[in-house]
């Protein structure tokens, strides 16, 4: 177990180190003539800034302190497996337990997402000259690229698969990635002929200069998957699009192999 823990820690450190370089390991479309995504309406109400200066009062402070303690104890429970909170106090706060398999290392060969009618080959990509995670060549824009310095899909930690959103001739492999929603399924076929089935947790969009490295690359608590492509506004140049679209997914089952 100690040796396994050291390997996980090394993988996590290496992934975060690479992710923190250049554009925080963003996926960039370098072709300045690539077709931009259609404009997208910002969801939700505008942000409300709270005023400060008036004290919240003791009752509010007491409730806030209690919530901090509860959240901290829930965090300890998740790490240690020990039950610290009474059931009636924590009812509705703990996420439902979800078992998951852990698979041996095996490179991905293809990706399928029924929700967006996506079926694509997957090949290995490494580190680009600028220190970011490389993306498939433009000639392979209908293929996805698995970052071969990180976990394989099904191992502990985030397996990272990247792809283009479009090209000069039209949509690319991850053009519809932003349409995914929580609960959608992603299937990754591996070289050992097993299929790792992931469930989408969330789909987020981040400015390429502010990609949250720990959130995207740092969770080694379970087998997970990150699908990354470009999004937001077209700004041109080497940057391409302003943002990255990131799909967060967790392994829920495996079959075959």
Chain segment 220-251, per-residue pLDDT in tens:
999 999 999 999 988 877 778 999 999 999 99
Chain CA centroid to CA 232, Å: 17
Distance CA 228, CA 245 (A): 6
Q: What is the mean pLDDT of the chain?
A: 76
Regarding whether 124 and 69 lie in a shared domain, the answer is: no
Could you tell me the CA-to-CA distances from 148 to 123, 127, 134, 225 in Å, in that order? 9, 9, 10, 13
Regarding whether 80 and 201 lie in a shared domain, the answer is: no
Structure tokens at 142: 């209908």
Q: Is residue 46 in a domain?
A: no
Chain segment 50-106, per-residue pLDDT in tens:
333 334 455 545 555 656 665 566 565 555 555 555 544 444 444 545 788 999 999
Q: Is residue 42 in a domain?
A: no
Region 25-41 average pLDDT: 42
Residue 156: other Cβ atoms inside 10 A: 21
Regarding whether 63 and 16 lie in a shared domain, the answer is: no
Q: Is residue 146 in a domain?
A: yes
Regarding whether 197 and 146 lie in a shared domain, the answer is: yes
Counting the structural domains of the chain, the total is 2
Regarding whether 231 and 251 lie in a shared domain, the answer is: yes
Regarding whether 176 and 78 lie in a shared domain, the answer is: no
Chain segment 179-190, per-residue pLDDT in tens:
999 999 999 999
Regarding whether 131 and 65 lie in a shared domain, the answer is: no
Give the pLDDT score at 198: 97
pLDDT band at 49 (very low <50, low <70, confident <90, very high): very low
Regarding whether 153 and 222 lie in a shared domain, the answer is: yes
Q: What is the pTM of this model?
A: 0.67
Alpha-helix runs per DSSP H in the chain:
2-19, 58-80, 87-90, 213-217
Regarding whether 147 and 29 lie in a shared domain, the answer is: yes
pLDDT band at 172 (very low <50, low <70, confident <90, very high): very high
Domain range enclosing 64: 58-90
User: In this structure, are residues 121 and 107 in contact, taking their beta carbons and an 8 Å threshold?
Assistant: no
Regarding whether 148 and 62 lie in a shared domain, the answer is: no
Regarding whether 207 and 113 lie in a shared domain, the answer is: yes
Regarding whether 142 and 24 lie in a shared domain, the answer is: yes
């Amino acid at each position: 177990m100690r040796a396994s823990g050291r390997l996980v820690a090394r993988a996590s450190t290496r992934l975060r180190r690479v992710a923190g370089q250049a554009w925080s390991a963003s996926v960039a479309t370098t072709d300045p003539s690539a077709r931009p995504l259609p404009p997208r309406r910002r969801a939700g109400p505008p942000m409300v800034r709270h005023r400060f200066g008036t004290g919240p009062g003791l009752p509010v402070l007491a409730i806030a302190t209690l919530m901090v303690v509860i959240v901290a104890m829930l965090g300890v429970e998740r790490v240690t497996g020990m039950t610290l909170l009474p059931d009636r106090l924590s009812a509705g706060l703990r996420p439902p337990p979800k078992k998951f398999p852990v698979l041996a290392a095996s490179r991905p060969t293809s990706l399928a997402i029924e929700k967006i009618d996506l079926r694509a080959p997957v090949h290995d990509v490494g580190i680009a000259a600028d220190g970011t995670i490389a993306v498939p060549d433009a000639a392979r824009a209908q293929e996805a690229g698995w970052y071969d310095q990180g976990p394989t899909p099904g191992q502990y930690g985030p397996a990272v698969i990247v792809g283009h959103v479009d090209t000069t001739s039209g949509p690319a492999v991850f053009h519809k990635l932003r349409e995914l929603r929580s609960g959608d399924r992603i299937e990754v076929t591996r070289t050992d002929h097993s299929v790792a089935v992931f469930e989408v947790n969330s789909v987020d969009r981040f400015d390429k200069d502010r990609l949250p490295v720990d959130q995207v690359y740092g969770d080694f608590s379970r087998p997970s998957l990150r699908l990354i492509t470009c999004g937001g506004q077209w700004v041109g140049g080497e940057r391409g699009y302003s943002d990255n679209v990131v799909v967060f997914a967790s392994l829920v089952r495996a079959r075959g192999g």
